Amino acid sequence: MTDDQDVTEDQEAAAPHFRVAVIGTGFAGIGMAVRLKRAGLDDIVLLERADDVGGTWRDNDYPGAACDVPSHLYSFSFAPNPDWSRSFSPQPEIWDYLRRVAKDYDVVRHIRFGHDVEEARWEPEHGRWRVRTSGGTVTAQFLVTGCGPLADPAYPAIPGLDTFRGAVFHSATWDHAHDFAGRRVAVVGTGASAIQFIPEIQPTVGRMRVFQRTPPWVIPRHDRGITAAERRLYNAVPLLQRLARTCIYWGRETYVIGFAKNPRLLRIVEKLARANLRRGVEDPGLRRKLVPDYTIGCKRILMSNDYYPALDAPNVDVVTEPIAEIEPDAVVTRDGTRHEVDTLIFGTGFHVTDSPVSHRIRDGEGVLLADRWRRGSDMQAHRGTTVAGYPNLFVLAGPNTGLGHSSQLFMLEAQIGYTMAALRYAHDRGVERLEPRAEAQEAYSRWVQDKTGGTVWVTGGCDSWYLNDQGRNTTLWPGFTWDYKLRTSRFDPGGYRLWPAPASGRTRAAAGRAREGGRRQ
């Protein structure tokens, strides 16, 4: 063994230990940290690969980036923002909001920036997680992943892509230094990001070709500026903003009736989308290209007022022929047509059904979480949050916690509440380790899949990122969000294997309860 190896092993052995380690500082990570601190637990660390907080809303700063959930609902329940400028918040405001929450709730001092998690491994002999990052190693009794599904961009496997000589980037890695004036631009993909940035750059480019595999359903975006008078009122009377939030929440919940209960009701929404298309596109040939052949709601319903007019502009062509290959200066479609371009932008989404963080988490025997999920044919987690075989692990934005109709933050807060309930149970009863029983996790997963069976996401006739390659829904919660909140409102010890802490640990826990009892919420 070399001296360098000795030094490395000594450093590993001396890794700082925390009660809870959290991966990521987007909404999930920051929300988790705030709840931990409000419960009196300061012994935490947040591991962030970038140099600032924000997650998805830090990275996705392409032109026109904005939220498609109303602003008053897209914020933490414990930290309302009375100063949103618009009814649908633009990306810079959401990012500023996250940074402000992290600062106001004293989360920043717990963050280690530039710490990209390379591997997290459970050490059964010590009852802890060892987390190796690009900036050093830490250990923790409990590990929480706050890596959302929109974290790692996905690129299609197109032959010749590596030979392209022009500018190439994804919407999530936007090149703000790139000059679009007069450029011949190819946009691959027509999802939620593409419909926002296409109208922003279309007036500037020389020629744009939009390569569309499947057209989305697009409904009008009822966005408006929130007046200064309204903002003053929300600041002076917070109850009014909470009332607005409540009304928006229940209005959004009604969408579930169409998505999951009676898809025929979605015909009303389809009429709105068809009317939006007629208003935005005059060319009947282009209209035919833009009409989806699946039930609305099967894929994510998008909102825009300017996407269709941008596609109808004289300098834009919508190409529906599949891409065969990329050449150094062109995109070649299957019919042999060469589309000469000098800029290539991918609006092709993210790794959703193949969670990137699962390729970095190992159990006590070294088995990757990704491999465990692959063997079981899909991602599974008990209550969408804990995973059999991986003790003391909590996965925020986990399997079947995504939404197609409302604010993801509602689900995240429910998961955070469930995680806190589990931690409180462990603390109060001297439990060192907890892990969901495989049979409890499987029963929960079967129930979710049964609930999914009659929904538009399965019966709507489309291939969406909601489903994995076996056609199973591993992404969305198949019902009302209040139902999920009820199901995660308390910890269910009967579904778990529990290991008591050693006697000395229980003594320390009792002392901790005496010190912290009045502070926990």
User: Do residues 283 and 358 share a domain?
Assistant: no
Q: Last residue of a domain, which of 346, 380, 408? A: 346
CA distances from 251 to 244, 255, 403 (A): 11, 8, 15
| pLDDT beyond 70 at 377 | no
Sequence-ordered list of residues with C-beta below 8 angstroms from that of 52, at least 6 positions apart, any chain: 58, 99, 113
Using DSSP, state whether 453 is helix, strand or coil.
Answer: coil
Q: Last residue of a domain, which of 319, 346, 373? A: 346
User: Do residues 396 and 430 share a domain?
Assistant: yes
Residue 186: name the closest of 310, 348, 312, 345 by CA.
345
Query: Cβ distance 476 to 466 under 8 Å?
Result: yes
pLDDT attached to residue 354: 72
| Phi, psi (deg, nearest 5) at residue 340 | -70, 125
| pLDDT beyond 50 at 7 | no
User: Do residues 399 and 465 share a domain?
Assistant: yes
User: Do residues 302 and 419 share a domain?
Assistant: no
Mean pLDDT over 415-435 rounds to 97
Domain count, the chain: 2
CA distances from 62 to 102, 114, 355, 377, 462 (A): 23, 23, 23, 35, 27
What is the pTM (predicted TM-score) of this model?
A: 0.91
What stretch of H or E contains 117?
A: strand 117-123
Query: Cβ distance 143 to 120 under 8 Å?
Result: yes
Range of the domain at 438: 15-53+107-148+353-516
CATH number of the CATH domain containing 473: 3.50.50.60
User: Do residues 284 and 315 share a domain?
Assistant: yes
352 pLDDT tier (thresholds 50, 70, 90): low
| Token pair recorded at residue 372 | 């465990």
The percentage of the chain sitting over the pLDDT mark of 90, rounded to a whole number, equals 83
| Phi, psi (deg, nearest 5) at residue 415 | -65, -40
Total count of residues recorded for the chain: 521
Mean pLDDT over 114-118 rounds to 97
160 pLDDT tier (thresholds 50, 70, 90): very high
Cα 469 to its chain centre, rounded Å, is 19
Query: Cβ distance 379 to 445 under 8 Å?
Result: no
Residue found by looking up tokens 């068809």 in the block: 274
pLDDT attached to residue 12: 54
User: Do residues 298 and 376 share a domain?
Assistant: no
Residue 499: name the closest of 440, 426, 418 by CA.
426
Instruction: Fill in the amino acid letter for 447.
Output: W
d(CA 51, CA 68): 26
Query: Cβ distance 170 to 48 under 8 Å?
Result: no
pLDDT attached to residue 59: 93
| pLDDT beyond 50 at 516 | no
Residue 404: name the closest of 469, 293, 479, 305 by CA.
479
Residue found by looking up tokens 């924000």 in the block: 54
Residue 499: name the closest of 139, 124, 41 by CA.
124
pLDDT attached to residue 376: 58
User: Do residues 49 and 115 share a domain?
Assistant: yes
Whether 267 maps to a domain, the answer reads yes
Q: Last residue of a domain, which of 304, 321, 346? A: 346
What stretch of H or E contains 29?
A: helix 27-38
512 pLDDT tier (thresholds 50, 70, 90): very low
| pLDDT beyond 80 at 335 | yes
Lowest-confidence segment of 109-118, 140-149, 172-181 by average pLDDT: 140-149
Number of H helices, E strands in the chain: 17, 20
Bridging pattern class, strands 44-48 and 111-113: parallel
User: Do residues 358 and 341 share a domain?
Assistant: no
356 pLDDT tier (thresholds 50, 70, 90): confident
